Amino acid sequence: MKLNDLAIIGVTAATIASCAPAKGDYASYELYPVRSGSLTEMVYTPEATTFTLWAPSADEVKVLIYDNGDGGVVCETVDMTAAKEGTWTASVQKDLMGKFYTFNVRIGEKWQGETPGINALAVGVNGMRAAIIDMDATDPEGWDEDVRPALNDPSEVILYEVHHRDFSIHPTSGIVNKGKFLAMTEQGTKNPAGAATGIDHLKELGVTHVHLLPSYDYASVDESKLEENKYNWGYDPVNYNVPDGSYSTDPYDPSVRIREFKQMVHALHKAGIRVVLDVVYNHTFNTESSNFERTVPGYFYRQRPDGSYADASACGNETASDRPMMRKYMVESVKHWIREYHLDGFRFDLMGIHDIETMNAIRQAATEIDPTIFIYGEGWAASAPQLSNEELAMKVNTHAMPGVAAFCDEMRDGLRGPFNDNKQGAFLAGVPGFEESVKFGIAGAVQHPQVLIDSVNYTQAFWAAQPTQMISYVSCHDDMCLVDRFQASVPGADAAEMARLDMLAQTAVFTSQGVPFIYAGEEVMRDKKGVHNSYQSPDSINAIDWNRKSLNATVFDYYKGLIQLRKDHPAFHLGDADLVRKHLEFLPVAGSNVVAYRLKDYAGNDLWKSIVVVLNARKEAVLVGVPPAAYVVVAENGIINQRGLRSLHGDDVSVPAQSALIMFEL
């Protein structure tokens, strides 16, 4: 959305200025009026800039104009006038291009404190003041011709979760703009051994979507002290609709972060890769001094029965998505990122705090712009939110949110062990009893007659209506990476064993009917020195050492082969629950820690008549019975070759220890 594109904004300065006063006293949040049209707070023209703030409980509101994004004195203070639908307006009749502004709201005798508003689209350093800029001027060369890479169906999505600093900060990355948005625009970067890094690495790997950890303006990194190299994942929101300045080359110039974020998206799109943004609408960094609270105290957060702030996020507050203006805000924010930044998807942090109606409204709004936009999230909360479970976007309610996916922790922890005990293993560590949890994930969390739901961890129900509503994964940022997990849960595991288990784990992920997701660096066997929650750890813990790509070339090649295998064979991503039940057949296996299945009868119009997959987590080879036929083995002992590794004929197959075997029927 362009600040000076009135047709897109849906509101003009004249319309705002002519609003009739309608302020009143509101006894409860349910009585607050809902602002119609756009939530835009500033409309610029060279002749005048008009400000509009939704503050229905205010007794007085002022706009403060500054020359700088931080420091300096107020240049001008402008009184706002109460208008319709709980808004306040003011118009400054001169050219304010390049200026900065804040609002200050008085309720009773108390001034709430300066805020850039709830909907700033450009900000100065550290996001304390909103900026008046020409958004059109932030478009990089070719932006008008930017197009989303082709995506025929959500079943084709392959997600790669990455933090900007992790990806590029290590000296071995060969990237110039380390830790910046621009890192993903550089081509031809290599590690010391000559292996591709950066965007070329992503193209070589074959992922379809890069999932960026939070990249909006967040609190925990001081943009004015970037020489400190303070690290954070970014789950502490301040301004939801502006890129964070710490990833830009100049956090003081509000245009730079916007332009460089767009350059990154444009470069990824040209490389055939879509872009997902991790969004954290469920809580804010602080409460009393947040933009929400300083604008309309209490409204944007849920309260406990005693009036205190609810805290299902475990971060001090939980936002009230069920209240009309918070819901509207979330929908408008997502639309802004799609339109202004051409984003292709969103991952919702602690999605279980939000209500189902809001998530469905977001899905509908995204679909109206582009139905291929992919939406998924964490189907849980840190503790019970202040709504009934039936209202919440919890994992168990995923079936009620068509086109929204949730992470499958049943499969994750069934493979590698529970989140709350790093030393406890599961299927991969040779611990029996997790086979049904793995099968649940293989089937994409949809109802399947061969999955014994009573034996699946964490759930007693098939919660996905379609397999594309399940995110298949074994690790992510807020947990141990696989190397660290294996070191903790598989005593005595050496590098060779960890590599075998790594490849076995991802075979389950990439042959699952769910949507596969990997944590950046797993394909080169990154480690984080055993740190489970590295959100404040330094680069020495979080950075991906790109030497590992050369040291673990076999593992990288296996990942690349798995991704290509999935892309080439629709049997692995049927995308429809009925087709999964029709074509996916689990094969009988004696004993524990082995899962075997086949995709039969040319599943998904595949070229191969049937495909057999065996996952063997035992420390010895296993003999598995298969339907009698002639087969060609395409994956075995950590090597993938779709032209065939060997042929066999019979009714059983031997699968080496701690490995996967994939073969197709001639």
pLDDT digits (tens, 9 = 90+) for 126-135: 999 999 999 9
> Domain boundary residue among 117, 138, 159?
138
Residue owning tokens 């804040």: 102
> Domain boundary residue among 138, 173, 206?
138
Smallest CA-to-CA distance from 129 within 99, 106, 88, 105 is with 99
Q: What is the DSSP letter of 338?
A: H
CA distance linking residue 138 with residue 132, whole number of Å: 12
Q: Is 44 helix (H, G, I), strand (E, B) or coil?
A: strand
Q: Is the pLDDT of residue 449 over 60?
A: yes
Phi, psi dihedral angles at 140 (to 5 degrees): -70, 170
CA 265 to chain centre: 15
Count of structural domains, the chain: 2
**Is residue 532 assigned to a domain?**
no
Bridge partners, 472 (sequence order): 516
222 is catalytic: no
Q: What is the pLDDT of residue 226?
A: 87
Model confidence at 27, pLDDT cuts 50, 70, 90, reads low
Q: What is the pLDDT of residue 15?
A: 35
**Is residue 496 assigned to a domain?**
no
**Is residue 530 assigned to a domain?**
no
Q: What is the pLDDT of residue 26?
A: 53
Q: Is the pLDDT of residue 8 over 60?
A: no
**Is residue 420 assigned to a domain?**
no
Range of the domain at 129: 6-138
Q: What is the pLDDT of residue 28?
A: 84
Q: What is the pLDDT of residue 30?
A: 86
- In contact, 282 and 240? CB cutoff 8 Å: no
Read off the pLDDT of residues 470-510 as tens digits, 9 standing for 90 and up. 999 999 999 999 999 999 999 899 999 999 999 999 999 99
Q: What is the pLDDT of residue 17?
A: 34
Model confidence at 615, pLDDT cuts 50, 70, 90, reads very high
Smallest CA-to-CA distance from 577 within 366, 402, 357 is with 402
What is the CB neighbour count within 10 angstroms for residue 153?
13
The CA-CA-CA angle for residues 542, 548, 554, to 5°, reads 135
CA distance linking residue 265 with residue 240, whole number of Å: 18
**Is residue 559 assigned to a domain?**
no
The residue annotated as part of the active site, out of 378, 409, 523, 636, is 378
CATH (domain of 609): 2.60.40.1180
Read off the pLDDT of residues 367-398 as tens digits, 9 standing for 90 and up. 999 999 999 999 999 999 999 999 999 999 99
Model confidence at 228, pLDDT cuts 50, 70, 90, reads confident
Q: What is the pLDDT of residue 22?
A: 38
Model confidence at 25, pLDDT cuts 50, 70, 90, reads low
Q: Is 294 exposed, middle or buried (0-12, 13-18, 19+ CB in 10 A)?
A: buried
Q: Is the pLDDT of residue 419 over 70?
A: yes
What is the CB neighbour count within 10 angstroms for residue 172?
19
- In contact, 4 and 136? CB cutoff 8 Å: yes
- In contact, 407 and 473? CB cutoff 8 Å: yes
Read off the pLDDT of residues 511-568 as tens digits, 9 standing for 90 and up. 999 999 999 999 999 999 999 999 999 999 999 999 999 999 999 999 999 999 999 9
**Is residue 204 assigned to a domain?**
no
Residue positions counted in the chain: 666
What is the CB neighbour count within 10 angstroms for residue 595?
26
- In contact, 114 and 64? CB cutoff 8 Å: yes
CATH (domain of 84): 2.60.40.10
**Helical H runs in 307-378?**
324-341, 356-369
**Is residue 611 assigned to a domain?**
yes
Model confidence at 657, pLDDT cuts 50, 70, 90, reads very high
> In whole numbers, what is the pLDDT of the chain averaged over residues?
95
The CA-CA-CA angle for residues 277, 281, 286, to 5°, reads 120
- In contact, 41 and 123? CB cutoff 8 Å: no
**Is residue 505 assigned to a domain?**
no
- CA-based end-to-end distance of the chain: 54
pTM here? 0.95
Q: Strands 470-472 and 515-519: what pairing?
A: parallel
Read off the pLDDT of residues 29-42 as tens digits, 9 standing for 90 and up. 888 999 999 999 99
Model confidence at 19, pLDDT cuts 50, 70, 90, reads very low
Q: What is the pLDDT of residue 229?
A: 82
> Domain boundary residue among 88, 122, 138?
138
Q: What is the DSSP letter of 146?
A: -
Q: What is the pLDDT of residue 9?
A: 28
Q: Is the pLDDT of residue 6 over 60?
A: no
DSSP string, 472-525: E-S--SSS--HHHHHHHHSTT--HHHHHHHHHHHHHHHHHSSSEEEEETTGGGT
141 is catalytic: no
Read off the pLDDT of residues 71-81 as tens digits, 9 standing for 90 and up. 999 999 999 99
